[in-house]
Structure 1
Amino acid sequence: MSGGQFFSHETAAALWGAPFPLARDANGAAARLPPSVHVSVFGTAPLPRIDGVIGHRARIETSNARELDGLMVASAATTWAALGRLPLYDVVAVGDYLCRAWRVGVGRPDSGRDAITSRADLAEAVASGRRVGIRRLRTALELVREDSWSPRETRVRCILSDYALPEPALNVDVFGVEGEFLACLDLAYLREKVAVEYHGILHSRTYAKDVERMARLRAAGWIVIEVTAALLKNEVELVRRVRSALRAR
Structure 2
Amino acid sequence: MLLHVTRPGVVAPVAVDPTGLTGPTRKQARGPRWRGTSANRFVPAGVDPTGLEQRIVEAIAGAPDGAAVTGWAALAWNGGRWFTGTTATGAPMPVPIAIDDHRTLVRVPGALACHDWLFDGEVTTVDGIPITVPERSLSFALRRALSDRSAIELIDMAYFDDLTSPELFGRHLARLRSRPGVRRARRAFGRADENAWSPMESVMRCLWEEAGLDLPLTNPPVFDRDGKHLLTPDLLDPTAGVAGEYYGAVHAGLGPRRRDLVREDLYRDTGIELVPMMSTDMRDTGQFVRRLHRAYGRASARGADPDRRTWTLEQPDWWVDTSTVERRRALSAYERATWLRHRS
Same fold (TM over 0.5): yes
Shift in CA distance, 80/195, structure 1 to aligned 2, threshold 3 Å: same
What is the rounded CA distance, in whole Å, between the counterparts of 1:38 and 1:142 in structure 2? 26
Say if 2:144 is the partner of 1:96: no
What is the rounded CA distance, in whole Å, between the counterparts of 1:216 and 1:187 in structure 2? 15
Code of the residue aligned with 1:241 in structure 2: it is R
TM alignment of 1:129-208, pairs within 5 A: 129=176, 130-204=178-252, 206-208=256-258
Rg comparison, structure with higher value? 2
Shift in CA distance, 144/89, structure 1 to aligned 2, threshold 3 Å: same
TM alignment of 1:62-101, pairs within 5 A: 64-83=122-141, 84-87=143-146, 88-100=148-160
What is the rounded CA distance, in whole Å, between the counterparts of 1:54 and 1:213 in structure 2? 46
Say if 2:88 is the partner of 1:19: no
Would you say the 8 A contact 1:92–1:143 is kept in 2? yes
Match of 1:231 among 269, 278, 281: 281
The match for 1:128 is 175
The match for 2:104 is 46
* Aligned structure 1 segments of 4 or more residues deviating by more than 4 angstroms: none
Shift in CA distance, 97/40, structure 1 to aligned 2, threshold 3 Å: same
What is the rounded CA distance, in whole Å, between the counterparts of 1:15 and 1:5 in structure 2? 15
The match for 1:8 is 70
Match of 2:221, SS?
Answer: strand
Shift in CA distance, 4/158, structure 1 to aligned 2, threshold 3 Å: same
- Per the TM alignment, residue 246 of structure 1 is displaced from its structure 2 partner at its CA by 2.1
Would you say the 8 A contact 2:75–2:158 is kept in 1? no
What is the rounded CA distance, in whole Å, between the counterparts of 1:175 and 1:10 in structure 2? 37
What is the rounded CA distance, in whole Å, between the counterparts of 2:216 and 2:228 in structure 1? 22
> After the TM superposition, which of the residue ranges 214-223 and 119-128 deviates more from structure 2?
119-128
Code of the residue aligned with 2:287 in structure 1: it is E
- Per the TM alignment, residue 34 of structure 1 is displaced from its structure 2 partner at its CA by 4.6
- Per the TM alignment, residue 232 of structure 1 is displaced from its structure 2 partner at its CA by 3.8
Offset from partner CA, 1:181-229 (integer Å, 9 cap, x none): 2211100012322110011112226222122111112122111111111
Shift in CA distance, 55/183, structure 1 to aligned 2, threshold 3 Å: same
What is the rounded CA distance, in whole Å, between the counterparts of 2:251 and 2:124 in structure 1? 36
Gaps of 5+ in 2: 2-63, 301-344
> After the TM superposition, which of the residue ranges 61-70 and 209-218 deviates more from structure 2?
61-70
TM-score, normalised via structure 2 length: 0.61
The match for 2:292 is 242
Shift in CA distance, 15/247, structure 1 to aligned 2, threshold 3 Å: same
The match for 1:59 is 117
Offset from partner CA, 1:15-67 (integer Å, 9 cap, x none): 2425358535xxxxx34x35422211246233343232211123333881222
What is the rounded CA distance, in whole Å, between the counterparts of 1:42 and 1:188 in structure 2? 45
What is the rounded CA distance, in whole Å, between the counterparts of 1:62 and 1:247 in structure 2? 54
Structure of higher RCO (CA pairs closer than 8 Å, 6+ residues apart)? 1
TM-score, normalised via structure 1 length: 0.82
Gaps of 5+ in 1: 25-29, 101-113
RMSD: 2.4
Match of 2:259, SS?
Answer: helix
Would you say the 8 A contact 2:73–2:83 is kept in 1? no
The match for 1:103 is none
What is the rounded CA distance, in whole Å, between the counterparts of 1:55 and 1:138 in structure 2? 25
Between the aligned residues of both structures, percent identity stands at: 24
- Per the TM alignment, residue 174 of structure 1 is displaced from its structure 2 partner at its CA by 0.8
What is the rounded CA distance, in whole Å, between the counterparts of 2:201 and 2:275 in structure 1? 13
